[in-house]
Amino acid sequence: MDLDEKEFECEQLFKLQLAKLGLVAKYSLLNNEEELTKTQFEIENIMMSINHEFWMVKKDIFRLIDQLLLESKLIKLQSTHQKRS
């Protein structure tokens, strides 16, 4: 949920930034480079945060899958051993 929220926030900033850049390119009406730079910095920070959090979630998922597979193998091994006894 946190990743979805950050993704939405970043998407909104990105759309706003594109609109501002479009105005600059088309009409030269927006001459506030400082604001554009600040927004770009915010977008980059959010993207780095999203990428890091996604990586952590993915890492946790793979760790949990590994645990489940190991537990499943142990249960099968115990079951096989009990059948032999």
Residues 14/44, Cβ–Cβ less than 8 Å: no
| pLDDT tens-place string over residues 10-44 | 888 888 888 877 777 666 655 667 777 788 888 88
DSSP secondary structure string, 26-69? HH-----HHHHHHHHHHHHHHHHHHHHHHHHHHHHHHHHHHHHH
* pTM tops 0.85, yes or no: no
Measured in whole angstroms, the distance separating CA 43 from the mean position of its chain's CA atoms is 13
Return the higher-pLDDT residue of 81 and 11: 11
pLDDT, residue 29, reads 54
63 has pLDDT over 80: yes
The mean predicted confidence, pLDDT, of the chain is: 81
Q: Give the angle subtended at the CA of 58 by the CAs of 52 and 60, to the nearest 5°.
A: 105
